[in-house]
Structure 1
């Protein structure tokens, strides 16, 4: 109804007739909002919070949570897509930001189940963070000011029992956000700032009813001996924990009852405890249990993700006083340690694990779509990664639910470069006098860490919280963070920052490095490791954010947010600042470093198509070499213990820093990552010309062989070898030196590596490289925090004059086209290699279809070689597969 009314411009005010929080323990979100600039409203804020105010002329958002811009988008006032959309070309740059320079008000009118509030019925208003700060009014009275209700993560619970009526009106007055003054959710230099700087009710505000005993957030503490996966004599201690507060003026006796269920939903334990609380007193309730032979939660590549659940209820007499939502938890252990090199190493269930992840960002307007995030999460797994880092983008509880269910590990923490790190010793924020936190900042930090810790504590996907990003918190803030985390029952590592610049004494060194790069570097960068004291981001230690700055969308996506002139600039003006890069004050506002390398290595582009083909090849090289570099050094003398690729995704359609574009279309950076992260894989070392094998499993071992084939661009064999070895779980190792063969390359050679299980003859991994006789040589003396120069560039220009290869391809489906799963057979019928074959699924209108997964893509076939590829079309909208390649004529495969 709301959407229909919006269509005609006469949306109704936000009045929700169905009563909220009708029984004790129930909590309901405020379902929608009227909102308006305060200066356009004649009444006082208090008067606006009386029921019956006419808001028909206001804006109306049919959602429970939205920033001001998010609300305006939800209402339909603006759009992001299309030629008139905010994200098309540089439209956002001319957007009028002045309306957001003064306060706005959100208003909702809601009902409760009765107008008479009994002495045993209590109502609470719960916030989960409002950006940047807010005054709250209910039924004509102020219940909180912007000093208390401060910070994007500052969650609070307000007792509104004395003000509650049958008909109620809530008003939230939000103030303009300044990232240098408020503990907010910002975007640093990742993209242009939203016009409202994220101001507003970006998380739900809920109404909760209880009896005389109020329950705080539930935490679950797990005590499991670190035992091997096959040990059948395990047990786990589980303690259900929550605060209880007596709201009455007399002593109360209540029963705390926790029901624990197995992962398949069967009742496992019922725990009871009788507790006496004095008038207005509080106590911690703890209910311990022992679970024999527990089902253990594992990261996706190592096992299953069984989730137990618990529901805690407080009974006063025979009546429910408060009840928690059913809360999932997993039984697992997480630990971290500093190795002899002061690098952080994580362990899950006692096993060392190499962290392979990406840095996540929220949508520019903080719009949350759980399905969209689940697509991202499934892409993470499809790329063979195991972790997502949340730098100040903690989103909503559903994110952690999805990660728990899918087996993705989460590293959360505060963001860099603004008020969160306004410390006198932060040299990156130059202000005179130096910034200092105020008393309010410390209070906001306390509310923030307590809220976030309570939200995250039960989730087995959580493996660490970083209380700093680029810089560490001061001692006072550190103490606040630690107390808040420990009070929530925090059991996973707490790390001082994501860098090695310093640390608070209470936490010690972070064991993580943040030395770049963030812009293009050649593949050899990741393998040239010695001496480690001046090799910055090379593959050793724990790299908390690093990458070659790639992530070029293909033309199907580019046309959705760029004009023809914008796309022409990509290849005709290689040094031009581009609006869809980083901010215009950033080192990353143009593609000059990237384009200099592309022009030098692949030749000057002759068209947009030519530029995009070369860009995809360079993006593939970049991510594949980075992840292979780290994976191949997992068992080195100074191991590569983990990396977070910068970045996983974008807040809007961007031209860099992603592993797939905003529209979820996977391209070169995606498939380079995917091939490098096979569970069992074989990789080429660009620096030493060694072949390494990688085993990221816990239980796969046995005899293997690597088939090494090196050919020239005419398809003639340069070298053939077969290397035999025994693979071991969770290990990497060098198995062969092929430098003599590599030296035989005349201009450009193609190296194919096949990893084969000797017992089954199954191909476990297939990988191909294009290698130049003239190698990339890094000039390490020019290293900056974001890139490095090269003394010499590889020369791949011979690829531009290759003979064209003839490809045949066919598709089959065994389920009458209903499953969305297709088998494609692609064969190179030519005597020359078919280089960098791209498969792209489009619908009947020729538009890219996403999300989807390919078992392999962007691959190279030697002469007469064929490959079978599996396509999973998640939406079922695919009609045709487009086939293209560096030396392959475009063709099409019809599906069905």
Structure 2
């Protein structure tokens, strides 16, 4: 039975169930991914692609891969040769034999087509790492010199090569991160044994009539000011049309713009033109949308998505057609007097708050996980994700379009992409000089990525450099490629201030660390701006935290690995960074933990102290940047290092590989609230943060209360204040002798933000933010003069050891389901002392974590007598079978409550 065609321009990449008797494509304008592969090493099958690409080859002894795209190891996992769980356990990944991937491997598939008069066929590649030879039906389509570069998608006319039954063979060559344009891992994690070689994005077949269209570019123009955003908007549909025949052809170009949710009738129009023989003509169709629905990042509004479609007909028959999702939004940028970049979205200054993303170490295609990850991003209060050299697949951008999250794609650092004579940080020194062929690969790569990304409203910018800027030959290549595809958002020369091309000007971004542990007061040392503290745009920086909880650790660490985690701080740990980097040990972190909280008595003691450290570190960083958004030298953006991990890791994440949020997650979530109240550790001041853009001031109150470790009130006050939209402001100083000016012991500080919103509900006062700090009488003392590229040393530590002596708190727990996808947990602290750092974990009947999920809040500190209800919500469409909730804390005995 023949599959029903999708809507014009849609992709069939996910469909793996084609019946072999049916053609792969059978309609003009249809694009279909090769759905599966037979895979074998040249060590066993040789390299005669002319023979291997003929029909009827016996592949029964090959590996059979039921996916359209996978790197070599990813394919072998799919075929059952390897098991990811086993590979990730302890040091098993080391045991994979790299020699098997030192030779070419061949991907092969047979499929049917219906060639005939007037039909044309194309083979489209989108990502093969890093070089490949391509043969079809015994004939060469492309050599490894042509199909080169992991992002260099190409389109090959295969019309003269196709038959009814077709055999495609793609031989991928071993990838070198230092010599090829690949997807590298720098020091993020150990490198996979195959170096990511393979077909990691779809290979597609397209059928057209006598005229074929390239990708659709959609150019929008909005009103010139915020007040005029709803003015009629201009939409221009553009695509290059190729006349494939040796005769002039008169065509009709049909344009369509479809409104979100079908709320309005589509706008359709057309024009006729004649294409010269064997020519390429840019089709341009322009229309006006009278009342555009504006796309906003989620923190500021809705995400209405339009669709644009362009079709070419010849003699009333469709020759080719393409569709693309888009949104009405404007993104620009400017440099302030300090040459710091500020992004401006829909004419409103936009503080970037986000983190750096990584795909799976084997580049596995997993849209369900991406959906859950971006739901986490929203739950955290982030608005942006940076993709350094990991531009992923179109579906990731489609998810981000729908959810209202900005993405920052760009090229990666530290390998062939930045092999410039002035880059002295590369492993190979002197760096390999780019050849003329390399500039061609760079051009092909930028052309492909620009075409893929251009229409998506979720794309904030493109970084054509990371640690270093491209040279004076590569820079115009990148800029011209982006211009070729009508790029509309800012192009940034690099993510650092090391230098720049005159063609781009200064980047306005800093990359001065840290990447390892620093104390919370680090971020507030801004009177004299230093290193990574909260000023300018920090393109990648963080305190190097992200310790998984015990249930996650036990999935990938052996008993001896767990011992090393808390007992051997000077020993390199395999689940940190790549061997040989500065980040294979937890020594800096461990030394701070011991000095501040005391030597751990057990693994459990170590982990609770680690979660406290992680929470404190991420909260301070995000709060510091939020509070300094409207400072004299503003903190215009923050990309936390990192968002997630490519495999189970012991640092550099906001949530762990298994999607379990812990201390670093909830610290970041607290620090990134839309309306929030913040404590400045350095100046002992309270600040209010308002990240909305509502055009009215709102009355707010801040309750400030300090408690001693005995639970007695040390200080309390209420301050009334008006919030300023898209701004921060000082509320109060706590440096006086009656407040926190002369601490003699540790205290808890609670800040509660309350307010009324006349436009929401009945205007009753409600809690908008609740924030609890644990404070030592002394701050950690930083040695700024000893700052390195990755850390600022600490010469004297804050002392939190008294917090270990807290009396045990009595916390009662009740849990019940609410609807299909929620659990409510009710807590009450019946003790006379605070219940410090209370954590909640939702478990199934077998005692395993229920994931992915979000908690309204977690790792909370309850005042004596305080009650609190916290809601857990399921993320995604997976099974939701919570049976119990495990509750524990620094001074709270672990208990298990049944979910009723």
Report the TM range for the smaller structure's normalisation. Answer: over 0.9
1:567 to 562, 568, 579: 562
State the alpha-carbon separation in 2 of the partners of residues 642 and 766 from structure 1. Answer: 24
Whole-angstrom distance in 2 between the partners of 1:91 and 1:21: 43
149, 152, 156: which one aligns with 2:150: 152
Q: Which residue of 2 aligns with 1:689?
A: 684
- Kindly report the root-mean-square deviation, in angstroms, between the aligned alpha carbons of the 2 structures: 1.4
Whether the 8 Å CA contact 2:312–2:320 is kept in 1: the answer is yes
Quote the Cα distance in structure 1 between the aligned partners of 2:215 and 2:653: 36
1:347 corresponds to: 344
The 8 Å contact of residues 519 and 780 in structure 2, kept in 1 or not, is answered as yes
Among residues 804, 811, 821, which one is paired with 1:807 in the alignment?
811
Range moving further from structure 2, 422-431 or 486-495:
422-431
Equivalent position of 1:293 in the other structure: 291
Aligned equivalents of 1:23 and 1:542: distance in 2? Answer: 49
Aligned to 1:3: none
Q: Structure 1 pair 430/852, CA: closer, same or farther in 2 (3 Å)?
A: closer
> 1:754-793 counterparts in 2 under 5 A?
754-757=752-755, 760-793=764-797
Structure 2 residue 388 is the aligned partner of structure 1 residue 391: yes
Does the residue aligned with 1:375 lie in a helix, a strand or coil?
Answer: helix
State yes or no: 1:676 paired with 2:671.
Answer: yes
Q: Name 2:414's counterpart in structure 1.
A: 417
Name the counterpart of 2:722. Answer: 726
Q: How does 1:656-671 map to 2 (within 5 A)?
A: 656-671=651-666
**Contact residue 172 and residue 198 of structure 2 kept, 8 A:** yes
Alignment of 1:577-596 (within 5 A): 577-596=572-591
Contact 1:20–1:27, Cα closer than 8 Å, also in 2: no
Q: What's 1:282 paired with?
A: 280
Equivalent pair of 1:13/1:55 in contact (CA under 8 Å): no
Whether the aligned pair in 2 keeps the contact of 1:705 and 1:755 (CA below 8 Å) is: yes
Which deviates further from its counterpart, 788-797 or 336-345? 788-797
Equivalent residue, structure 2, for 1:336: 333
Q: Residues 215-230 of structure 1 correspond to what in structure 2 (within 5 A)?
A: 215-228=213-226
Note the C-alpha offset of 1:43. Answer: 6.7
Would the aligned equivalents of 2:175 and 2:195 in 1 still touch at CA under 8 Å?
A: yes
Match of 2:94 in 1: 93
Deviation string 1:176-214 (CA, Å, 9 cap, x unpaired) is 000111000010000000110000011100000000001
Report if the CA contact (8 A) 1:14-1:34 is conserved.
Answer: no
| Corresponding residue of 1:653 | 648
Deviation at 1:584, TM superposition (A): 1.3
Cα contact 2:179–2:432 (8 A) shared by 1 = no
Structure 1 residues 460, 803: closer, same or farther in 2, change over 3 A? same
Match of 2:9 in 1: none
SS of the equivalent of 1:55 reads coil
Report the more deviating stretch, 847-856 or 43-52: 43-52
Could you tell me how far 1:78 is from its partner in structure 2? Answer: 0.4
Partner SS state of residue 314, structure 1: strand
Partner of 1:526: 523
- Alignment map for 1:168-567 (pairs within 5 Å): 168-228=166-226, 231=228, 234-265=231-262, 266-324=264-322, 326-429=323-426, 431=428, 433-532=430-529, 535-567=530-562
Deviation at 1:284, TM superposition (A): 0.4
Contact 2:230 2:293 in 1 (8 A): no
Deviation, structure 1 residue 430 = 5.5
* Contact kept in structure 2, 1:14 and 1:60, CA below 8 Å: no
Work out whether 1:828 is the aligned partner of 2:823: no
Is the deviation greater in 806-815 or in 829-838? Answer: 806-815
Q: Measure, in 1, the Cα distance between the counterparts of 2:151 and 2:46.
A: 31
Distance 1:256 1:367, change over 3 A: same
CA distance in 2, matches of 1:50, 1:261: 44
Residue 433 of structure 1: how far off its partner (Å) = 4.5
3-state DSSP of counterpart to 2:129: coil
Shift of 1:811: 2.3
Specify the SS of the correspondent of 1:155: coil
Asked whether the equivalents of residues 527 and 629 of structure 1 are also in contact (C-alpha less than 8 Å), the reply is yes
1:633 to 623, 628, 633: 628
Q: CA deviation at 1:14?
A: 11
Secondary structure of 1:86's partner?
A: helix
Counterpart CA distance in 2 for 1:456 and 1:783 is 38
User: Would the alpha carbon gap of residues 139 and 145 (structure 1) be closer, same or farther in structure 2, given more than 3 Å must change?
Assistant: same
CA distance in 1, matches of 2:571, 2:818: 50
Given candidates 47, 61, 65, the residue that maps to 1:61 is: 65
**Deviation of 1:340 (Å):** 0.7
Q: Which moved more, 1:738-747 or 1:820-829?
A: 738-747
- In the alignment, is residue 613 of structure 1 matched against residue 595 of structure 2? no
1:141 Cα deviation after fit: 0.5
Deviation, 1:431, is: 3.9
Structure 2 SS opposite 1:739: coil
- Which sections of structure 1, spanning at least 5 residues, go unmatched? 1-11
User: How much does 1:782 deviate?
Assistant: 1.1
CA distance in 1, matches of 2:792, 2:414: 23
Partner-residue secondary structure (3-state), 1:311: strand
CA contact (8 A) 2:852 2:874 kept: yes
* Match in the other structure for 1:872: 873
**Counterpart-to-counterpart distance in 2, 1:250 and 1:113:** 23
Counterparts in 2 of 1:138 and 1:276: CA distance versus 1, 3 Å:
same
CA distance in 2, matches of 1:767, 1:495: 36
Question: Distance in 2 between the 1:319 and 1:384 partners?
Answer: 49
Answer with 661-670 or 859-868: which moved more: 859-868
Q: Deviations over 1:509-550 (max 9, x none)?
A: 000000000000000000011312xx1000000000000000
Name which of 698, 703, 708 aligns with 2:704: 708
User: Shift of residue 356 of structure 1?
Assistant: 0.3
Unpaired stretches in structure 2, ≥5 consecutive residues? 1-15, 757-762
Q: Separation in 1 of the partners of 2:40 and 2:20?
A: 19
CA offsets, 1:727-761, max 9 Å, x none? 11101011110022223433210000000115632
- How far has the Cα of 1:267 moved from its partner? 3.1
Shift of 1:850: 0.9
Instruction: Mark the CA change 1:661 to 1:814 in structure 2 (over 3 Å): closer, same or farther.
Output: closer
Query: Contact 1:445–1:477 (CA<8 Å) still a contact in 2?
Result: yes
**Change over 3 Å in CA distance of 1:233–1:496 after alignment to 2:** closer
Q: What secondary structure does 1:475 align onto?
A: coil
> Aligned pair in 2 of structure 1 residues 243, 384: CA closer, same or farther (>3 Å)?
same
Q: 2-side partners of 1:745 and 1:262: how far apart?
A: 61
> Retained in 1: the 8 A contact 2:18–2:24?
no
Contact residue 712 and residue 745 of structure 1 kept, 8 A: no
SS at match of 2:461: strand
Task: For 1:100 and 1:386, locate their aligned partners in 2 and report how far apart those are by CA, in whole Å.
Answer: 39
SS of the residue aligned with 2:751?
Answer: strand
**Aligned twin of 2:138:** 140
CA shift at 1:132, angstroms?
0.6
User: What is the TM-score of this pair, normalised by structure 2?
Assistant: 0.96
**2:48 paired residue among 44, 51, 69:** 44
Do the aligned residues in 2 keep the contact of 1:15 with 1:108 (CA within 8 Å)? no
Partner in structure 2 of residue 70 of structure 1: 74
> Residue 247 of structure 1 contacts residue 279 of structure 1 at CA under 8 Å; is this kept in 2?
yes
Matched, 1:717 2:717: no
In structure 1, C-alpha distance between the alignment counterparts of 2:773 and 2:421, rounded to whole Å: 48
Distance of aligned partners of 1:232 and 1:474 in 2 relative to their CA distance in 1, 3 Å threshold: closer
Q: How many corresponding residue pairs?
A: 872
For residue 895 of structure 1, what is the aligned residue in structure 2?
A: 899
